[in-house]
Amino acid sequence: MRLRVEIHPTDDRCPFENEDVRLDLEEGECLWLQGDSGSGKSSIALHLVDLRPLQGANVRIDWEGIADHERSVGMVFQQGVLIDTLNVGENIGFALRTSGRTASREAIDGALEEVGLSPADAEKMPGQLSGGMLRRASLAQVLAQGKRVIVLDEPFVGLDEANASGIVGVIQHLMHRGQSFILISHEPQYAEALATPGRNVVLNSRPVREVPGSARWIPHWNFAMRTLLRLFDYLVVSAPLILFAFIAAGIAISMLFSELLQATNVDSLRKQIVDTNPSWIEQWLGVGLFESFIGHEFNAIAEKHLPGIRQRIFAMGVSRGFVMELGPLLTALLLAGRIGGSYAGEVSMMQATNQNQLLKTLGASPRRWTLLPSMIAALISAPILTAIGVGTALFMAEWVALRGAYPLFESGEAFWRALATRTLHYESLWAFPPFVSFYHSLVFMGIILGVAEFIGRLRPQIQPRGVPQSITWAVVGASLLIIIADWGLSQWLLYLHPMKNPLG
């Protein structure tokens, strides 16, 4: 087996300024790719493994002595990377399956033994491995796929001498078996022990043009700035979600309500009073004539008062449904995912990456850093977003009431007058619909952030793979508590203001 790579720069996008670069590698050899940081070593590696094309250069790759289906390059990333939801054995088994091989226990154990790990290590999760073990496991995963050439990207970074020397021994053993490597390393004490004589390529980095960064007028560690950024995220970014959700909900619920009211027509009510098929006895006794007289009077009364009754019922349903119940509830359920999930994910990720521990060592409270600005921004955003949702739903209700299949009002002025009668005249502040919507939204938002805060900090030693689970639990938990709280608040509201004479 022989691999030849020729690279010719074509423009300034190429990270190195060598006139051309040639990589020549045979079976069982190790090529040491050197150069300063930013000289393009990792860019060449990513091109070879088909992850990212090398910009500003023409690359030619030629294989000799092997079949086409065997021509492959694998890569062990810096510090080792495994799929963190799979244990070590499952990672290797997955690599075997994707390469068309049998993921047997014997094959997995064999891959582990090749890199100096034991079969018992197969049951460990990536987060339980030390730095040296993680690199060995990553190498075993690539070896399991039978890659003819393996790129080692800084395999010794962060390792002590004993672990680094162990990795050197593993690579030397694999080279004796015929495995070929391209080594990227800034640590000559280990790289020189591996590099095949004459297989050494040095990249000369191109001078980097400085790109001016954007200056910040106020540093982001400033509490007010962090609060404003969260307010923008919670309010402005969430507004389109609320708007479109309430457009759909407002039209659907108003149309359903309108159709139900239309079903209560004069004919259906009259049939409950007047028998359209009287018996001969009822006709002989004059009952039919009497019922006809009642039916005539009923028609006159119903035609006069039924439209007004429908309008009052519709206005009452819209007022209580959208302003007091559906508006705050639907907004809260949407924000449980939008804000609660985002906040729980942020806190969990800060736990997983030790940022909360860093804040403590700096003398700063992690809760003050995340919870306090988030709570302020969320409590400001929740009533505003609820008002946007309620207002949108009311405008949709007006459209249905005036232009739907069954119009209920002659003009928009009549609709808003009827709505104001049902919405703005209540006996106490706590039962005043706009205020009900306001404090419901605050209660629900407190639940959302409270649950997200609790779930996000529940596991101090959480791994990155656990972050999506924390988000899910925060969203589901907050949604269930919101539904329970909505029922409790509704019962309290009925206690404060029973629905006496709802059509009056």
> Would you kindly state where each structural domain of the chain is located, as residue ranges?
2-203, 223-496
16, β-bridge pairs = 205
**Per this entry, what is the length of the chain?**
504
- Residue 383, pLDDT > 90, answer yes
| pLDDT at res. 59 | 93
User: In angstroms, rounded to a whole number, what is the distance separating the alpha carbons of residues 303 and 501?
Assistant: 21
What is the torsional sign of CA 142, 147, 150, 153?
negative
61: which 2 tokens?
């790759």
> DSSP 3-state assignment of 286?
coil
The per-residue pLDDT for range 97-124, each reduced to its tens digit, is 988 888 899 999 999 999 999 999 999 9
| pLDDT at res. 302 | 52
Contact call for residues 341 and 475 (beta carbons, < 8 A): yes
- Residue 13, pLDDT > 80, answer yes
Residue whose token pair is 């509830």: 329
Residue 80 pLDDT level (bands cut at 50, 70, 90) = confident
The residue ranking higher by pLDDT, 182 or 433, is 182
| pLDDT at res. 278 | 55
**Average confidence (pLDDT) over 185-205:** 91
User: In angstroms, rounded to a whole number, what is the distance separating the alpha carbons of residues 96 and 141?
Assistant: 8
Amino acid at 221: W
132: which 2 tokens?
């040296």
Percent of the chain whose predicted confidence (pLDDT) is above 90 = 51
| pLDDT at res. 305 | 58
Q: HEC states along 206-227?
A: CCCCCCCCCCCCCCCCCHHHHH
| pLDDT at res. 306 | 64
State the DSSP H helix or E strand holding residue 386, giving kind and residue range, or none if neither. Answer: helix 366-403
Contact call for residues 343 and 370 (beta carbons, < 8 A): yes
Given CATH 3.30.460.80, say whether it is the number of domain 2-203: no
- Residue 502, pLDDT > 70, answer no
- Residue 406, pLDDT > 80, answer no
430: which 2 tokens?
């706590």
The mean predicted confidence, pLDDT, of the chain is 85
Kindly tell me the burial class for residue 135, based on how many C-beta atoms sit within 10 Å of its own C-beta (0-12, 13-18, 19 or more): buried
State the DSSP H helix or E strand holding residue 182, giving kind and residue range, or none if neither. Answer: strand 180-184
What is the torsional sign of CA 441, 442, 444, 445?
positive
4, β-bridge pairs = 24, 62
The residue ranking higher by pLDDT, 402 or 243, is 243
User: In angstroms, rounded to a whole number, what is the distance separating the alpha carbons of residues 333 and 448?
Assistant: 9
User: In angstroms, rounded to a whole number, what is the distance separating the alpha carbons of residues 481 and 400?
Assistant: 33
- Residue 56, pLDDT > 70, answer yes
pTM, two decimal places: 0.74
User: In angstroms, rounded to a whole number, what is the distance separating the alpha carbons of residues 275 and 356?
Assistant: 78
228: which 2 tokens?
């404003």
- Residue 217, pLDDT > 90, answer no
CA atoms within 13 A on the CB side of 86: 15
User: In angstroms, rounded to a whole number, what is the distance separating the alpha carbons of residues 155 and 168?
Assistant: 9
**Average confidence (pLDDT) over 40-46:** 92
- Residue 351, pLDDT > 50, answer yes
State the DSSP H helix or E strand holding residue 128, giving kind and residue range, or none if neither. Answer: none
Contact call for residues 452 and 344 (beta carbons, < 8 A): yes
435: which 2 tokens?
């205020």
Contact call for residues 435 and 289 (beta carbons, < 8 A): no
Count Cβ atoms below 10 Å from residue 215 Cβ, excluding itself.
5
Least confident range from 48-57, 313-322, 443-452: namely 313-322
Contact call for residues 151 and 75 (beta carbons, < 8 A): yes
The residue ranking higher by pLDDT, 465 or 231, is 231
| pLDDT at res. 294 | 44
Percent of the chain whose predicted confidence (pLDDT) is above 70 = 88
336: which 2 tokens?
């449980």
| pLDDT at res. 223 | 87
- Residue 299, pLDDT > 70, answer no
Angle CA 242–246–248, to nearest 5: 125
